[in-house]
Amino acid sequence: MPDGASDTVRSMGICDGRVVVITGAGRGLGRAHALAFAAEGAAVVVNDVGASLTGEGADRGPAQEVVAEIEAAGGRAVVNGDDVSDWEGAGRMIRQAIETFGGLDTVVCNAGIVRDRMIVNMSVDEWDAVMKVHLRGMFCPVRHAIDYWRAESKAGKQREARIVTTSSGAGLFGSISQGNYSAAKAGIAAFTIVAAAELGRYGIKANGIAPSARSRMTEEAFAEMMAKPESGFDAMAPENVSPVVVWLGSAHCDVTGRMFETQGGQLSVADGWQHGAIFDKGAKLDPAEVGPIVTDLIREAPQPTPVYGA
């Protein structure tokens, strides 16, 4: 496989025998994830509608190319062209995994689009389009997968199921001209920790990543940062992120409800919202008292990470 993936599928990888659905897997990060899972022994459903960066059009060619690469290396994969934000389409995708490969173990939610605009210029259609792909396009396949995993658990065949979502630094810290994208990615992060809390009883673990890597989205927004170096380690190559995703999607993953920032060879656990210092008057506050109290509380609180682009 090209771009740093193994030339042949490993006979005993950490995902040997697992079945994985990856959304938005025709290009960029999703493509890298598909190749990496296959190299570790997984059977992969390569989902991609083949839309443009802003969500228009359809082309199964990129997904078919990924499947061809996996099969040429001795792996198992199949194309799925359903719209992940369509409830029935997402259901077909999950059923395809089960019917083609005999089960389902991991769902990687990677599909996304951008409609970048400053908030003062953003239309409601640009807002809705991003929410639909990122949030509805995550919920629909995950919800169908949960139905299958719950049924398996109740039948005494509990699977070591894994959900891997894709947030972003924009979702964790915000990004100028990406109010819609940042809000959607923040929603994904919150959904992930709720899913982890609710679904553990069924053997399901849910974690997310906030990756920094070269993609159609980032090449345009951060051209200089994402430029491929003439020599040496290509820190922004998408395949650098995939080992983390593969581990999170494997039965080896023993954590849940966490968000991981990953870039190049770097990996860290993002520290989410925490309760800050508390002022307690023991009685109702007067509006005139609030300002000085806030000043003191902010003085005690850690400085937030700046919004990207600010």
Place of tokens 């040997």: 16
User: Could you give the dihedral angle defined by the CA atoms of residues 190, 195, 198 and 203, in that order, rounded to the nearest 10 degrees?
Assistant: -150
DSSP helix/strand/coil, 76: strand
181 has catalytic annotation: yes
Host H or E run for residue 164: strand 162-166
| Cα 269 from Cα 264, distance rounded (Å) | 15
Q: What residues pair up with 282 in beta bridges, in sequence order?
A: none
- Shortest CA distance to 53 belongs to which of 168, 172, 181? 181
CA atoms within 13 Å, Cβ hemisphere of 244: 26
Contact 175, 124 (CB under 8 A): no
The active-site residue out of 148, 181, 202, 308 is: 181
46 within 8 A of 20, measured Cβ to Cβ:
no
Nearest of 37, 162, 33, 24 to residue 104 by alpha carbon: 162
Both tokens of residue 77?
A: 């994969």
Report which DSSP code applies to 118.
-
* DSSP, residue by residue, 255-273: --S-EEEEETTEEEE----
Catalytic positions, please? Answer: 181
